[in-house]
Structure 1
Amino acid sequence: MSPAMGQPGTLTKKQSDALAAYNKAASDFESILGQRRAQIDSNQRLPNLPGQALYLARNNMLSTYKDLTDALPSRIGGPNKYGIPPAYLDAGVEPLLDQYRKLFDLMQAPPANAQKSDTPFKDVVDLGTAIARAKGLDAAGAEAAGRISLGLFFAETNGNQNIGNARSNTYKGSLQTGPSEDQNGRRKWAAIKTSIAAFDPALSLRDDREEARAGNLDHRFNHWTAVRDALMSAHADIFPQVATIVKTLPNPIDQMKLFELIQIIPAPTRSGLKSGDLVNYRISDPRIMGYLRNNSIFTFGQADRARTSATYREILDAMWLFNAKFEEALAKFDEIKARQKR
C-alpha cells in the first residue's frame, strides 16, 4: 500500500502533521492485519478479543484520514465500494478493508454445533412480521416490521447467521445478544406464542421444531430462536409505533437505523419517540455520546469526536457506516417479496 501523497514543502505544519499521522495509521492497520492473518494461517492461539485491535486500528485510519481531509480538503478523492464518505476513506486502501472483513469472517465463524437455517433471511422477515401482527399491526405495518428486522440482522452480522464476536465475549448469534437478553426474549415469546399460532399455525409449528432441535443448546446458536428472542427482547415493544415511525422517517434505511439505535441506546431512543419530535430530539449525555462512538457513530476524526450533543436527525445521518448493510438488506427483502408473489 502506498502512503498518502503530498508535497511536505508546500504544506503547513498542521497539514504535514495530519499527513504523517494518517500514513502511520494506515501502516499500523496494514501491520495488524498481516499479524492476525499470519497467526490464523499458522494456527496460533489468538489473543482474547482478537478483533478489537483490528477494529481500533481501522477506526484510527479513518479518523486520521478525516483529520487530513479537514486540514487539506484537496485530499478528498472519489467514491469507494464501501459507501464510506470520501472525506473519511482514501479509496486506495479498499484492499485493507477487504482483508479486514475476511479476517472477521474467520474469527467470528459459527461454532461447530451451531444450527443453521437454509432460509435465514426469510426466517427473519417471517418472525418480524408475525411478531408485529401479534402486536396489532395491519398488513402494511407488519411488512415494514419484517423489513426492519432484516435490516437489524445485516446491521449486527452482515447477514451471517450464528456467528461469534471477535470483539466481545458476551454477544453472540444471529442478532448478537447477551444471555440475559436471550432469556428475556424467550419469556416474552412464550407470552404471545398462542396468539401467533392462531393466525399463523405453520410458523408456530416451525417454532416447535426449532425449539426441539435446539434442546439444551445455547439458543443464540440456533438461527431461528436467536432471531426470535432478540426481536422479542429489544424491538417487539416498539413495533406498535411502526406506522408513526414510517410517517416520521419515510426512508426505509432511516427506519432501520432507528431500530438499530433501539439496540445501541434504547432509553434515549424510546424517549425520542415519546417526545413527538423525534428528528429534533437532542442527545447531550456524555455517556450516551460515548455509546454512539463505540458503535461507529461520531467516531472518526477530531471534529466528530469533539461533538458534545446531536439531534436524532444528525445521528441518523452520521450512521453512514451502516448504509451498505441496510441497502443489502433491502435488496434481500425485495427478493423475498418477489418470490412470494410468484
Structure 2
Amino acid sequence: MSSLNKRQKLNDSNSNNTQPWVEKYRPKSLDDVYSQDHTVSVLKKNLQTSNLPHMLFYGPPGTGKTSTILAMTKELYGPNLINSRILELNASDERGINIVRKKIKNFAKLIISKPSKDDLEKYPCPPYKIIILDEADSMTSDAQSALRRTMEKYSNITRFCLICNYVTRIIDPLASRCTKFRFKSLNNDNAIERLKFISKNENLNVENDEINNDFYKNLLQIANGDLRRSITLLQSASNFSLDGPITSARIDELAGIVPDVVITNLVDKISNKNLNEIIEFTNNNIVKLGYSASAVILQLHDYYIINSNSDTKFKNNVSYLLFDIDSKLTNGSNENIQLITLLLNISQLY
C-alpha cells in the first residue's frame, strides 16, 4: 500500500473516531430507519418509480425525519451526484423571504447535468434536484408564501422536502402542495435495540446491559423518546466513565436531573410549611448545585400530578402553579425567584 493510501486510510479512521455518534450512526439507507414502517414503505415504492412528490415530514424531534430524507437521497443519487443534486438548508437560521428569492430560487432553477453511465447503472438518478428545508416551521409567513410559487414553477426539475416539528405552523397553501408523512415517537423496543447496537459497537461497559433494559429505558425517558438526544447522552457518559460501567446515575447527572432524594426532601419541607426551611433547602441543595428550575418543575409535576394520590382539587391547583411559573421562566424571568415563589405557593395549598 502506498504512503498516500495509508495516510488517507488513517485520516478516514480518525474522522470516524472523532465523529459525533449521532452522525456516525445516522441511517445509511431506508432499511436502517426505525419505527417508521408506514413512511418507509411508501417512500420505497416512490423510489421504485423515482417519481417523488413534494414532501412534508412532521413529528417530534429525534424521530428520524432528517435521517430518512438523507438516507433516501443517498439511494436515489449515490455519492457522486448527491452534492450537486441536494440543497439542505436549516430554515431556523435562514428563514426570511430573501433566502427564498435568492438561494432557494437560484438552486431550484438550475439545469441538472446528465449522470454518468456508472451512476445510472447503480442508482435511479431521477431528472430532478431535491431541496431539503429543515425546521420549516420556523420560516416566516412571507417566506412560506414566496416558496409556493417557486415550488410550482420549477417542479419539473426540483422537488422540495419540508421538515418540521409543528405542522400547524406551515401555511395551508404550502402544506396542500406536499404529501404529508407523520413521524411518530420511536417504539421503546426499537430505540433500545438501536442504543444496544451502538453500545456494543463502541465496546461500552453499561450497567446490567445483559440482564435487563432498565438503563436504556431510563435513558429514553430522560430524553423524552428523542433518540438523537439519547445517543448524545450515551456518548457524553462514555467520555466520563472510563474507569467503570456507565450507570443511570451518571446519565441523570449529565442530563441535569435532580436526584430523587433531593425532590423527596424538598416535598417534605413544602408539606411542613416552614418557609425558612424551604428557602434554605432550595438555596443549598438546588440553586448552589446548579440544577435548573425547569428540571425541578418537571420532576415536581411527576411527583404531584402523576405519582401522587392527592385529590383532584389539589392536583388542579398545583398544575396551575406549575403552568404559571413555567410560562414566566419561558418569558425570561429570574429562575431562583420564580422557583422559591412556586415552592412557597405550593406549601400554602396544604
Q: TM-score range by the shorter chain?
A: under 0.3
TM-score by length of 2: 0.27
Q: Considering fraction of residues, name the structure with more helix.
A: 1
Greater radius of gyration (CA): 2
